[in-house]
Structure 1
Amino acid sequence: MKLSTMRRWVSPSLSIQGKIFLAFSLVALLSIVSISVIVYFNMRETIKSNAVTSVSDSIRQADESLNIMLEEIDRLNTVVVTNKNTVIDTLLSSSEEISFEWFQEQKRIEEFLSSLVANKPYIARIAVVGLNGKVFFTGGPWLDKSILETPMMDFMLRNGSRHAYLKQTGVTETITVGREIRYDRQTIGIVMVDLNYDFIRKTYGVRPTADSMLYVLDQQDEFVYRSDHTPSFAPSEQRIVDMNRKFAKLGKVEGDVEEKVVGGRSYIVVSRQSDHTGWTTLALIPTDSLLIESARLLKLIIEASAIVLLVVLIGSLQVSSRITINIRRLKSMMMLVKDGNLTFPKKEIRTKDEVGQLYHVFIGMVEELKRSFEGIHISEQEKREAELTALQAQIRPHFLYNSLNTIKYLAKLNGTPNIEEVSGSLINLMRGVLGNSNEYLTVREELDYVRSYISIVKYKYMEPILVHEEIEDTSLLDSRVLKLTLQPIVENAVLHGIGSRDQGGFVTIRVYEDNRDLMIEVTDNGKGMTPEQMEQLLGGPGTKPTSSRFSGMGVRNVHERIVRSFEAPYGIRLYSEPGLYTKVEIRFPNLRAQIGAGQEVS
C-alpha cells in the first residue's frame, strides 16, 4: 500500500494517539499479511518441490533396483547360453523323450538351472527351450513345447540377440527376460527367466499421495506396471500412452518434471527412462491432493497471524498512550491559557524529547505573555499620559505658524519684502518638516524645499546664492525619493563649500536617469575635501555623525537612510578635489508609483 493511500485512511479529526495506533495497526497488518503470503506460497512451492524430489528419487531408486535384478538375470542368461557341456550339447543331442538318455539330460540341465537361481527369490522360473522341441525348466508355472507356437517365442527370437524384455499376462503376471542360444552361428534355442511380478510391485510402489499414479511402459508402449489402486478420475491408458509418446518426442525422458492438465485436472508429471531396459516411468501426482497439507498450513498461518496482530494492537495501544500522555498534559495547560488563565497549576513534564522541549518553550511563552500583559497595562497608562502631553504640545507648532504669518503680514504692511520672503520660506520649510508625515516625496517637492532654504540662507551672506537646476527629463520630477534627502546635501554644500568663498560660488543640481535608476548630483565649486574628510562625512570607522545646522540630518544620515531602505548599490558617493569642487552623487531606484503616507517601499 502506498503512503499516500495510508494518509487518506487516517482522518484529520483523529487524535495523535489514534493516528499512531492506526498507523501501527496498518503497518503491522500489512507486514503480517505480506509475510504470511510469502511464507504460504514458499511452503506450497517447497511441498511441491519436496514431493517431486521424493518421487524422482523413488523412481530412480526403483529403476536402479530393477536394473540390478535385470543385470543379474542377464548374467545368468549369459552363463546359460555359453555352457556347452550342459546346455548346448543337451539341445543338440539326438535322444528322444522318455528315454534313459533324455531323462539323464533333463536331470543334469535342471540341476544346473536350479543351481543358478538358488537364493534368488525374485526369479519365478528359468527355462531353456530348444527349437527342436526340447524344453527344460525349473520353477513354475509348467512349461512344454507348445510355447514354440506362441507370440512370445516369436518376440524372443526377433529381439533376443542380446536381451529381450517382455511382460506376460495370464494366470500370473511376469517379466520375462530372454536371450538366444546360438551354436555354429545358428539359433538353436532360447533361455528365458521369469521375474516375479511381486518384486516389481514392491519396487515401484511409490505413492506420495493416496490418489497418485505410476506407470511403467516398455518401448512398444505396453504397460509393464501400473498402480494397483487408481482413482476414478485417472486418465485412460490411451492418454498415458499419448503422453509417453509426446514426452519421448520432446526428449523429456530423463527425470523431467512438468505441470500438465489432463482431463480437466492438474497434475505434476515426473518422467524417467531407464538406460538399461529403455522403459519409461511416468508418475502423475494430482496437484490439489498434494497441496492439502498446504491448506492446513494456511489455516495455521492465519490463526498465528491473528494472534500476533492482536498482540501488536494491544502493544501499539499501550505505546501510543505512553507516547501521547505528555501531549495531552500540554494540551490541557494550553486550553487553560486559551481561557485566559495564566496562573494555572503546571503539570511538570520532565522528558528531554521534543514534547519536553515544547513544554519548556510553552512555559517560557506564558511567562513572557504575563510580562507582556503587565507591560501593556503600564503602556496603556503611559499612553493616556502621553496623549494628554501631545494634546498640550499641539498648540506649539500652530502657535509658531500663526506667529510667522503675523510677522509676514507686518513685513508686508511696513514694506519690507526681505522679511516677508524669509518668513514665507520658513513657513514652507516648517510645514514640510513638521506638517508632512509622508516618508516619500517627489523630486519636485524636494526642489521646492531647497528653494525655500536658499531664500532664507542667502540673507546670511548678504548676496545671492546661485543654484542651477538641470533636469534632463521633466517626468523625473514625479519620481519618489526619501523625504529630506536633497536639502541636507545642498545645505552642506552652502555652509562648508561655497560659504567660505568671497564671491562667485554656485551650486548645480542635476537630475537624470542612469540604467533605469534615478540620479541626483549636487556639485559646488567650494574648497573641496580630502579623502579623510569624505570618509568622515560618510561615516567611516571610528567617526561620529555630523549634523546639518537646519534639519539635524547630515550627509551620513541621508546615506544610511538610503542604504537601509534600498540596500546597495543605492546611496551616496562623493567626488572632490581640494580647492576645486565637491560633487555628491545620489542614486535612487526610479519610483514613479504613487506612495502613500507612511508606506514602505520593498
Structure 2
Amino acid sequence: MKSVSLRTKLIFSSLILILIPIFSVGIYTYSSFESVLSKQTLATALDRLHQVNINIEREMRAMMNASSSVVLDDRIRDVLDHPPSTDRQTIDSVDQIDRKVLEISTAIITDPVYITIMDNYGNMYTNWSQQVGAYERIRGSDFYKKALQQNGYMTWTLNHPNYISTELENMVTLAMAIKGKSASQNIGMLIISEPVSHYADILQVKNLPYRNIGFMMDANGHILAEDPQWVNSAYPAFLPDLQLKHSSFTAEINGEKVDVVNDFIPLSDWFVVQVVHHKDVFNQIQQIRNIAISTLLLSVAIFITILILLSNMFTSSIRKLQSMMKQVESGNLDVSVDIRSLDEVGWLSKNFNRMVKRLRHYIEREIELERVKENAKLEALQAQINPHFLHNTINTIKWMSIMAGTKNITEMLLSLGHLLNMSIHRGQEEITVREEIDNVRYFLTIQKYRFGDTIQVVEDIDPETMDAFVPKLSIQPLVENVYQHGLFIEGGKLIIRTRKIEDEVVLEVIDNGTGLTSERRKELEEHLSGEGRKGEFSGIGLKNVHNRIQIMYGSSYGLRIGQGEGDLNMCFSIHFPYRRDQHELASGRR
C-alpha cells in the first residue's frame, strides 16, 4: 500500500481540526438564527393579525350598534309600518329618518357608511343620492335575499358589487329585516354598507421590510384582499389548512415559501389571514450569509496556502533525511545530511551521520576480519594432516602389531582407528544408541591402557533404547570429562546408563569423583548456556554436545547436570526424543 507523506498528513489533519469546527459552528449558528428569526417573524405576524382582527371587529360592532339603534327605534318602525300617503307625511318620514342617520353618524359610526332603510311599499330612505335602478339592484342582491331568510337576524356579506353604482368600489354590508309589533311580521329592511377600501386599509400593514399580504374570506369563499390577483392564485394552496379557526403554518406558493397565520371573527364567521414571504424576510440574512461564505472561502484558501508553505518548510528537512536514508538502504554509505536546525530533525540528522559513519567503519572492519579469517583458514588447511592418511597409517601400524604378536598395542590401535573412523564420517550426524555405546567402549579401552585399570565401569543399558537414534559422539565427551576432571579416589566408579522415560531417551554418565562445588557447578552451567571451549577430542566438548542436541531437537532437550545417588557425586544426563527411525520427526519437537 502506498504510504502517505507527513506533509500530506499535516495538511489534512490541520484542515480537519480547523475547518470542520468552523463550518459546523457556522452552519449551526445560521440555522439557529434562521429558526429564531422565523419564530419571531411568525410571532410578529400573529400579533399583527390579532390587532387587525380587533380593528375589523371594532368596525363591525359599530355597524351592529347602528343597526340596533335603528331596529329598536319605535319612530323608525312606525314610519315603516305606516307609509306616508301625503307630501307632508313624506317630508316628516324623511325628516325622522335623517335625524336617526345623523344620530348614527355622529354618535355611533365615525367612518363614512351607506345607510339604507326600506319598507315593504317601495319607499327607500338613504343617506346617499339615489340613482335609477338602485332599489331594484338592492332587492335582487344576494345579501337582501339572505337577510329575508334570516328573518330578523343580522347577515354579513363580504366584497359584493356596489348597489349604488356598478362603477363604484365593492362593499361590505350588514343587512337585517326589521320586525314590527309581531315577531313574525317584517316591516322593512336595514342595510348598512362600507366601501371595501376601508377594510383593505386595515388589512394592509405598512413600513415593513418585507412583503405582508392580508385578506379576509367568508364561508362562501368570497375574498377581500389588498392584492386580490395574488390571493386568488395562491388561495387554493393553503385552503385545506384554513379550515381551522386559529392556525399558523408554512406553505409553498408558486415555488416560494410563505408563513400563513389566520384568525376567526365570530360576529360574521369570517377568516382574517396574513401571509409573510420567507424570501423577503431572509433576503438580507442570505446576503450576509453569502458574504460570510465568500469571506470564509477566501480565508480558507489563504489558510491552505500558508499551511502548505509552512508544511513545506517544516518537512523539507525530513524529506532530505528520508532521501539520504533511501540511498543508504540501496547500499550507498558515502552520504551525509547537512541539516543545521536546532530542533529534533537537526538532532536526528547528526545522529544519522554518526550512525552511517560507524556503519561504514564496521563494514570495513568486517571485510578486513573476513579477509584475515580466510587467510587463517588457508594456513590451517595447509598445516592440517589429512585424516584419511592418518587413518590408513594407523591401519598399517595395526597390521604390523598383529604380525609382531603385541596384543595390547593391537587392541589399542583397533579402538583408536574406530574412533578416528567415526569422527571422519561427518555426513552421518545420528547413530543408534548401540553404536554410540560401542564407540564409548572403544574409548574406554584406550583410556584403560593410558591410565590403567583403576576405574570400575558399570553399564546399565535399557534394551528398549538400543535402537533409538542419538547424535553421534554424544556420550563419549561425558566419559572423557570424567577422566579429565573426576579426580577419583581409590575405587573409582563410572556408570553408563540408558533409560526410556515416556517419549524421551535419557543417557546418563555417573561417577563417584570429588564432585563440583556450587561455584564450579554454576560456572559449568554458564559455560553450557554461553561461550565455552571445545573438548580436547575431535573438537567435541560438553557445550558442543548440548548445543547440537538443542539445534537438532529443540530447546527443551540437551545436557543437564545433577547429583548422583549414594556414594556417587556427579551425574551428567542427555535428554533427546525417542525415535527408532532416523527420518522420523517427533511431533512438536523440531
Relative to the length of structure 2, the TM-score reads 0.72
1:201 matched residue in structure 2? 200
* Matched-pair contact (CA < 8 Å) for 2:512–2:568: yes
* Change in CA separation of 1:390 and 1:557 when aligned onto 2, cut-off 3 Å: closer
Alignment of 1:71-220 (within 5 A): 71-78=58-65, 80-81=67-68, 87-93=73-79, 94=82, 96=84, 98-99=88-89, 101-117=92-108, 120-121=110-111, 123-128=112-117, 136-138=125-127, 147=138, 150-159=141-150, 163-167=154-158, 168-170=160-162, 171-178=168-175, 186=183, 191-205=190-204, 216-220=216-220
Kindly indicate whether residue 468 of structure 2 is the aligned counterpart of residue 476 of structure 1.
Answer: yes
1:314 matched residue in structure 2? 305
* Change in CA separation of 1:261 and 1:575 when aligned onto 2, cut-off 3 Å: farther
CA RMSD in angstroms, aligned pairs only: 5.5
**Structure 2: distance between partners of 1:529 and 1:562:** 28
Q: What's the offset of the Cα at 1:374?
A: 4.0
> Which of the residues 340, 364, 371 maps onto 2:361?
371
Kindly indicate whether residue 511 of structure 2 is the aligned counterpart of residue 519 of structure 1.
Answer: no
> Which of the residues 411, 414, 418 maps onto 1:424?
414
Q: What's the offset of the Cα at 1:368?
A: 0.9
Q: What's the offset of the Cα at 1:472?
A: 1.4
Alignment of 1:139-538 (within 5 A): 147=138, 150-159=141-150, 163-167=154-158, 168-170=160-162, 171-178=168-175, 186=183, 191-205=190-204, 216-225=216-225, 227-230=227-230, 235=233, 240=235, 244=239, 246-247=240-241, 251=243, 254-259=246-251, 268=258, 270=260, 272-276=262-266, 277-280=268-271, 303-304=294-295, 307-331=298-322, 333-334=324-325, 346-353=337-344, 355-376=345-366, 378-380=368-370, 382-383=372-373, 385-395=375-385, 404-405=394-395, 407-430=397-420, 435=424, 441-444=430-433, 446-459=436-449, 460-462=451-453, 465-472=457-464, 476-477=468-469, 479=470, 481=471, 484-491=473-480, 502=491, 507-512=495-500, 514=502, 516=503, 518-522=504-508, 527=512, 537=521
**Structure 1: distance between partners of 2:39 and 2:170:** 29
> Which structure exhibits the higher relative contact order, with contacts defined as CA atoms closer than 8 Å and separated by 6 or more residues?
1
Q: What's the offset of the Cα at 1:87?
A: 2.6
**One-letter code of the match for 1:70?**
E
* Matched-pair contact (CA < 8 Å) for 1:77–1:178: no
Relative to the length of structure 1, the TM-score reads 0.70
**Structure 2: distance between partners of 1:285 and 1:470:** 110
Percent identity, aligned pairs only, is 19
* Matched-pair contact (CA < 8 Å) for 1:426–1:456: yes
**Structure 2: distance between partners of 1:182 and 1:42:** 64
**Structure 2: distance between partners of 1:541 and 1:493:** 16
Q: What's the offset of the Cα at 1:328?
A: 3.8
Q: What's the offset of the Cα at 1:428?
A: 3.9
1:4 matched residue in structure 2? none
Unpaired runs of 5+ residues, structure 2, are 163-167
Q: What's the offset of the Cα at 1:189?
A: 5.2
2:165 matched residue in structure 1? none
**One-letter code of the match for 1:512?**
K
* Change in CA separation of 1:298 and 1:160 when aligned onto 2, cut-off 3 Å: farther
**Structure 1: distance between partners of 2:517 and 2:61:** 129
Q: What's the offset of the Cα at 1:80?
A: 4.8
* Matched-pair contact (CA < 8 Å) for 1:261–1:267: yes
Unpaired runs of 5+ residues, structure 1, are 1-6, 596-600
* Change in CA separation of 1:327 and 1:543 when aligned onto 2, cut-off 3 Å: closer
* Matched-pair contact (CA < 8 Å) for 2:513–2:568: yes
**Structure 2: distance between partners of 1:48 and 1:542:** 82
Give the secondary-structure state (helix, strand or coil) at the position aligned to 2:376.
helix
**One-letter code of the match for 1:77?**
M
